[in-house]
Amino acid sequence: MIEVENLTKFYGPVTALRQVNFSVDSGEIVGFLGPNGAGKTTALRILTCFMPPTSGTVRVAGLDCQEHPLKVRAKIGYLPETVPLYSDMTVFRFLAFVADAKGVPRSRRRGEIERVIEVCAISSVAQRIIGHLSKGFRQRVGIAQALLNNPPILILDEPTIGLDPAQIVEIRSLIKQLGGEQTIILSSHILPEVSQICQRILIINKGQIVATDTPANLTAQLQRNLQVFIEVEERGPEVAETLATVADVLEVRPVNGAGRYLIETKRGQDLRPELARTVVEHGWQLRELRLQDLSLEEIFMQLVTDEEAEEEQA
């Protein structure tokens, strides 16, 4: 559905993107991650035909973005980080305006507006002034305008920024529902959000793609050692000191309150039986014992840090 080959973009002497290559299959929900200044926004602007690349090729549904920009735009629904809403319009009037701008035929315009209103669950505010709506409803209106004319691709830039926890859950659920029917690229700084919604992750740093895979595969590739989470009833420094004496334990770190520890062991050696035996032998009550994978934050930081370290060595 989306193919990016050798994408490069210069802003004068500054290189925003360097030989970027990736693809997104039809129906995928792909997370697009990177630190500030990594090139995410530039890549999204090129994908949406907002600006041309310096070199390279971007194809959307088989169409070259430079040769057929209007046709490409018709296939993309875009929600930028700052949602472009007219605050003095009602929700219905605004969606009618966007539908007209997108070329939705008059004969099916009302039906299309009603469809996106239902999908985004904003029927209760359809006749209200946008400027009077909560942030959550305004975000839903922004997604609704992106869905008008049923584009096969959605690009969502920070769709839950500024929302309260309840609103975030609602928007995440909506995005999940849209996956499969539409191909979605989700750019977000909220890494747990990406891991919950996206099937695959693209990580960009300093204008280059440094990793692309599922969260599970990235964890398997990058997790150098095993991590075991353990919680015991007993509290005190002697617990960590005792657990550290178990053979092949590399480190014991207290986490999130007393009696809870993260134990790092050599990769390929599951020490849970030995750790459980140690707890029982000392008469401590074992509350929880489980393997713990790297979080997406840890994967992200490891990739970015490793790349910077390689550049410094070079």
Instruction: Give the pLDDT confidence of 117-163 residue by residue, as tens digits.
Output: 998 889 999 999 999 998 889 989 999 999 999 999 999 988 887 77
**Alpha-carbon gap, residue 265 to 288, rounded angstroms:** 17
- Across residues 268-274, what is the average pLDDT? 84
Predicted confidence (pLDDT) at residue 248 exceeds the cutoff of 90 = no
Q: How confident is the model at residue 309 (pLDDT cuts 50, 70, 90)?
A: very low
User: Residue 193: its pLDDT value, please?
Assistant: 76
| Distance in angstroms between the alpha carbons of the first and the last residue of the chain | 37
User: Residue 314: its pLDDT value, please?
Assistant: 42
Three-state secondary structure along 96-109?
A: HHHHHHCCCCHHHH
Predicted confidence (pLDDT) at residue 108 exceeds the cutoff of 60 = yes
- Domains of the chain and CATH, by start: 2-220 (3.40.50.300), 224-291 (3.30.70.100)
Predicted confidence (pLDDT) at residue 217 exceeds the cutoff of 60 = yes
Q: Which residue has the higher pLDDT, 244 or 308?
A: 244
* Identity of the highest mean pLDDT range in 11-15, 23-27, 111-115: 111-115
- Residue 244: count other Cβ atoms within 10 Å of its Cβ: 13
Instruction: Report the chain's mean pLDDT, rounded to a whole number.
Output: 86
State the DSSP H helix or E strand holding residue 177, giving kind and residue range, or none if neither: helix 165-178
Residue that the structure tokens 């290189």 belong to: 15
User: Residue 127: its pLDDT value, please?
Assistant: 96
Strand order in the sheet with 76-79: 76-79, 153-157, 183-187, 29-33, 200-205, 208-213
Residue 5: both structure tokens together:
């080959």
Q: Which residues, other chains included, contact 210 with Cβ-Cβ below 8 Å and sequence gap of 6+?
A: 203, 204, 303, 304, 307
Q: Which amino acid is at 305?
A: T
User: Residue 313: its pLDDT value, please?
Assistant: 46
Residue 128: both structure tokens together:
């209200």
User: Residue 303: its pLDDT value, please?
Assistant: 67
User: Residue 304: its pLDDT value, please?
Assistant: 67
- Percent of the chain past pLDDT 70, that is, above it, reads 90
Predicted confidence (pLDDT) at residue 92 exceeds the cutoff of 80 = yes
Q: Which residues, other chains included, contact 64 with Cβ-Cβ below 8 Å and sequence gap of 6+?
A: 57, 58
- pLDDT tens, 68-78? 999 999 999 99
User: Residue 23: its pLDDT value, please?
Assistant: 93
81-85, 218-222, 225-229: least confidently modelled range: 218-222
